């Protein structure tokens, strides 16, 4: 395990120190401008680095950078390129529309990428030396994701179509008819009829092969199949892969029939890239989730992730290695109690690189394929998007006091180096709250982890009001991570001491700890939060226990409602997209597998599971001032739950306020809405914690 080095070379630091002695005394004594804590404006100004892709020779890396256009109320993305050694970083595309998902050609001289220029998402290409980009596809429908075949002559693209449509043009014709119709009614015969924040329209994501130069009618590899690909949560290109010889495509897809709303069964399929045979299901024996396929460099092994328990979306993921010649499978590192998020083979196929939640961080791991032994390459902060670059691994790294940048590390876990420093000046201009992880004895006598963050520019001997943030999921983790919606530093920058706890149900502490929340939403998690807050107040004298607040979203929002019924220790609460009534929430939501797993089945079969820890039953106890936040396009936790919460608070005479976003889903994504969110949330906490 290694730690990140100072971003400046030692020689440069020594030179800077030497030069400081040569400055005139007056200049040397000039005070530096006072740094301020992180604000929402600082977060919006950060450049967001993602999606690194390494060139075939391992010397360069292309990646996507998002800049926030506050005036236009949106983010816009460009493709950048740099050398793996960290030199020569430059913006390669500068179009006003979004350019994303770069892919190198086989010779490394051209970059293919997705762009929304022209009003449609299509594949474009540009020389790595710069110049004008040109369109590669000019299809009547949007391209959602793509991969480049090894020969560079073909593309594998994902496009939404009607399964029975003969051509892409036929789908577009039907879409136009809908757009022009005065009748906007939708008719549904089965679930899911809506998902996340979108109403279903009968289209399915299919994979197509496109000739780069001929540009004829694409070949549908999934013709007539009533399945969606890719289907990994928020997934895309990671669920579609091409074999090294370019002859086979493997993809993940889910049957969208009548069980789609309460089944987590996603399968891997294999299909010849020439389309001369139908797709074959590779994982029929597993009725749980399979996805994230990756070929070994020699093409003989298919690695992928798999869960074992049907209906459980947060089951442990395991890396499965499938011998394509014999059909034999084995779990890599079978006794490893973590959930890897990807499969990246080394050049010789002897090592698999991946990332996984680990004790409040997201660590980068290397797994020996022969022995199955995992080792940590880099443990601090949040790490992911690993890509092989010769004898190094390029990855995205962030932490509580720094947004994501590209780093590289030797495959043996030594010599960590910064590859990009796009946010360096912005980071250095901010006074960051010091953070520390702590542990305590929580529910069932188990060791539970938490974090505490000091207020920015903390003055010794003073006490700060407390903001306890409760993470969602509930199977998730809030740790050493730079977040753009629930960033602890934004509260520390306002003068709050911040506490957050990875309660029972959190990830990164073993699967049994994650599983423990099932059927116990208001039990062990609530106990952990209260004990964790007590432990933090006892350990950190700079926290003012008489001025505590709590806030959370999703499961965290549910927990705020549960807290309101159990204690009045908090001066103020914020509930964002949280359920008030678990029983009714089952009928509101779209992914039924989630409540059925968590509460033991549908409510007509497992009524006790829904009523065991139901906030609505304790509204009579509510007395803490509460801000309610909800998005109208949230189909996961429908906004009527927020309306019900606000109604109960008002009818009870509890000081309350509702912030409702008609154009947001489960998150607040638009820049100006984010400004409003921070203004309202921080203002609400200030109102009840000022002395």
Per-position DSSP letters for 15-84, written without gaps between them: HHHHHHHHS-HHHHHPPPPPPB---HHHHHHS-EEEEEEE-TTSSEEEEEEEEEETTTTEEEEEEEEEET
3-state secondary structure of 562: helix
Residue 353 is assigned to a structural domain of this protein:
yes
Task: Identify any residues that bridge with 126 across adjacent strands, giving them in sequence order.
Answer: 111
pLDDT confidence of residue 217 = 86
Q: Could you please report the per-residue DSSP string of 578-623?
A: --S-HHHHHHH-S-THHHHHHHTS-TTT-HHHHHTT-GGGGGGG--
Interhelix angle 524-539/555-564, rounded to 10 degrees, is: 80
pLDDT confidence of residue 34 = 81
For residue 281, what is the enclosing H or E element? strand 280-281
Residue 487 is assigned to a structural domain of this protein:
yes
Residue 409 is assigned to a structural domain of this protein:
yes
* Same domain, residue pair 588 and 570: yes
Rounded to whole angstroms, the Cα distance separating 686 from 547 reads 10
Query: Strand 626-631 vs strand 572-576: parallel, antiparallel, or unpaired?
Result: parallel
Residues of the chain where predicted confidence (pLDDT) is lower than 70: 1-33, 230-235, 258
User: What CA dihedral angle connects 111, 117, 122 and 126, to 10 degrees?
Assistant: -20
Query: Strand 435-441 vs strand 447-453: parallel, antiparallel, or unpaired?
Result: antiparallel
Residue 667 is assigned to a structural domain of this protein:
yes
* Same domain, residue pair 682 and 552: yes
* Same domain, residue pair 577 and 482: yes
* Same domain, residue pair 636 and 650: yes
Cα distances (Å, whole numbers) of residue 557 to 469, 533, 599 = 10, 17, 17
* Same domain, residue pair 455 and 425: no
* Helix intervals (H) in 467-523: 488-492, 511-515
| Cα 105 from chain centroid (whole Å) | 28
Which of 165, 169, 74 lies closest to 116, judged by CA? 74
Is 296 catalytic? The answer is no
Residue 493 is assigned to a structural domain of this protein:
yes
pLDDT confidence of residue 258 = 67
Is 243 catalytic? The answer is no
* Same domain, residue pair 419 and 504: no
pLDDT confidence of residue 501 = 98
Q: Which of 370, 396, 429 lies at the terminal end of a domain, its last residue?
A: 429
Rounded to whole angstroms, the Cα distance separating 283 from 288 reads 9
pLDDT confidence of residue 216 = 80
Sign of the CA dihedral 69, 70, 74, 75? positive
- Written as six digits, the tokens of 331 are 């779990």
Q: Identify the domain containing residue 594 by its residue range.
A: 432-689
Give the CATH number of the domain where residue 358 resides: 2.40.10
Residue 568 is assigned to a structural domain of this protein:
yes
Q: Which of 429, 445, 475 lies at the terminal end of a domain, its last residue?
A: 429
- Report how many helices (DSSP H) and strands (DSSP E) the chain contains, helices first: 14, 39
* Same domain, residue pair 562 and 609: yes
Cβ count near 14 (within 10 Å): 10
* Residues 644 and 580 sit within 8 Å (Cβ to Cβ): yes
Rounded to whole angstroms, the Cα distance separating 257 from 236 reads 21
pLDDT digits (tens, 9 = 90+) for 434-472: 999 999 999 999 999 999 999 999 999 999 999 999 999
- Options 55, 121, 205, 554, the catalytic residue: 554
* Same domain, residue pair 408 and 490: no
* Same domain, residue pair 617 and 646: yes
* Same domain, residue pair 418 and 406: yes
- Options 99, 398, 634, 639, the catalytic residue: 634
Query: Strand 572-576 vs strand 543-553: parallel, antiparallel, or unpaired?
Result: parallel
Total count of domains within the chain: 2
Residue 447 is assigned to a structural domain of this protein:
yes
* Residues 426 and 415 sit within 8 Å (Cβ to Cβ): no
- Written as six digits, the tokens of 176 are 């136009």
* Same domain, residue pair 420 and 480: no
Q: Could you please report the per-residue DSSP string of 615-658?
A: GGGGGGG--S-EEEEEETT-SSS-HHHHHHHHHHHHHHT--EEE
Q: Rounded to the nearest 5 degrees, what angle is found at the Cα of 109, between the Cα atoms of 132 and 131? A: 15
Rounded to whole angstroms, the Cα distance separating 237 from 147 reads 7
Q: Which of 429, 462, 496 lies at the terminal end of a domain, its last residue?
A: 429
Give the CATH number of the domain where residue 582 resides: 3.40.50.1820
Q: Supply the DSSP symbol for 169.
A: H
Rounded to whole angstroms, the Cα distance separating 601 from 318 reads 25
Residue 511 is assigned to a structural domain of this protein:
yes
Is 656 catalytic? The answer is no
Rounded to whole angstroms, the Cα distance separating 293 from 305 reads 7
* Distance separating the N- and C-terminal Cα atoms of the chain: 45
- Options 206, 666, 674, 678, the catalytic residue: 666
User: Does pTM top 0.75 for this prediction?
Assistant: yes
* Same domain, residue pair 417 and 452: no
Which of 650, 525, 509, 627 lies closest to 577, judged by CA? 627
pLDDT confidence of residue 31 = 60
């Amino acid at each position: 395990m290694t730690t990140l080095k100072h971003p400046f070379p030692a020689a440069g630091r020594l030179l800077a120190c030497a030069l400081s002695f040569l400055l005139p005394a007056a200049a040397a004594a000039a005070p530096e401008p006072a740094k301020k804590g992180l604000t929402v404006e600082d977060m919006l100004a950060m450049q967001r680095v993602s999606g690194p892709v390494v060139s075939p020779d391992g010397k360069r890396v292309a990646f996507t950078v998002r800049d926030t256009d506050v005036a236009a109320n949106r983010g816009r993305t460009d493709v950048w390129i740099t050398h793996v050694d960290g030199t020569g970083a430059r913006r390669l595309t500068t179009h006003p529309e979004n350019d994303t998902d770069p892919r190198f050609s086989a010779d490394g001289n051209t970059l293919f990428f997705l762009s929304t220029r022209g009003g449609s998402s299509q594949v474009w290409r540009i020389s790595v030396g710069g110049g004008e980009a040109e369109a590669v596809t000019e299809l009547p429908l949007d391209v959602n994701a793509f991969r480049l075949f090894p020969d560079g002559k073909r593309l594998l693209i994902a496009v939404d179509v009607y399964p029975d449509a003969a051509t892409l043009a036929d789908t577009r014709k039907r879409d136009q008819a809908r757009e022009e119709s005065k009748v906007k009614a939708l008719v549904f015969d089965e679930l899911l009829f809506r998902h996340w924040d979108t109403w279903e329209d009968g289209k399915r994501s299919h994979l197509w092969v496109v000739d780069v130069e001929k540009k004829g009618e694409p070949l549908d590899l999934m013709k007539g199949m009533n399945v969606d690909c890719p289907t990994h949560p928020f997934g895309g290109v990671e669920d579609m892969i091409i074999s090294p010889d370019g002859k086979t495509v493997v993809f993940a897809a889910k049957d969208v029939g009548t069980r789609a709303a309460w089944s987590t069964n996603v399968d891997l399929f294999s299909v010849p890239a020439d389309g001369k045979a139908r797709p074959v299901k590779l994982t029929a024996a597993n009725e749980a989730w399979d996805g994230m396929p990756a070929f070994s460099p020699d093409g003989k092994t298919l690695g992928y992730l798999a869960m074992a328990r049907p209906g459980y979306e947060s089951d442990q993921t395991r890396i499965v290695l499938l011998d394509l010649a014999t059909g034999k499978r084995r779990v890599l590192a079978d006794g490893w109690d973590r959930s890897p998020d990807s499969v990246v083979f080394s050049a010789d196929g002897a090592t698999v690189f991946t990332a996984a939640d680990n004790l409040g961080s997201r660590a980068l791991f290397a797994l020996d394929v022969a022995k199955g032994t995992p080792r940590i390459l880099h443990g601090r902060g949040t790490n992911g998007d690993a890509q092989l670059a010769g004898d190094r691994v390029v990855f995205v790294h962030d932490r509580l006091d720094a947004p994501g940048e590209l780093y590289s590390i030797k495959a043996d876990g030594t010599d960590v180096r910064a590859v990009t420093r796009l946010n360096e000046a912005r980071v250095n201009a901010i006074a960051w709250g010091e953070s520390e992880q702590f542990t305590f004895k929580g529910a069932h006598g188990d060791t539970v982890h938490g974090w505490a963050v000091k207020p920015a520019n903390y003055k010794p001997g003073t006490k700060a009001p407390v903001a306890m943030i409760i993470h969602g999921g509930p199977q998730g983790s809030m740790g050493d991570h730079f977040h753009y919606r629930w960033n602890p530093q934004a509260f520390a920058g306002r003068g709050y001491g911040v506490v957050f706890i990875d309660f029972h149900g959190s990830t990164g502490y073993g699967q049994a700890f994650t599983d423990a929340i099932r059927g116990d939403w208001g039990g062990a998690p609530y106990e952990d939060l209260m004990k964790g807050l007590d432990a933090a107040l006892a350990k950190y004298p700079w926290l003012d226990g008489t001025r505590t607040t709590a806030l959370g979203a999703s499961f965290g929002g549910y927990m705020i409602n549960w807290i309101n019924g159990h204690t009045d220790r908090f001066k103020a609460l914020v509930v964002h997209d949280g359920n008030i009534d678990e029983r009714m929430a089952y009928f509101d939501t779209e992914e039924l597998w989630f409540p059925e797993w968590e509460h033991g089945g549908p409510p007509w079969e497992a009524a006790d599971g829904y009523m065991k820890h139901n906030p609505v039953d304790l509204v009579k106890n509510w007395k803490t001032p509460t801000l309610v936040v909800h998005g109208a396009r949230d189909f996961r936790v429908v906004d009527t739950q927020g309306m019900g919460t606000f109604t109960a608070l008002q009818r009870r005479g509890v000081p309350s306020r509702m912030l409702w976003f008609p154009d947001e889903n489960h998150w607040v994504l638009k820049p100006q809405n984010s400004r409003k969110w921070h203004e309202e949330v921080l203002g609400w906490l200030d109102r009840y914690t000022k002395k």
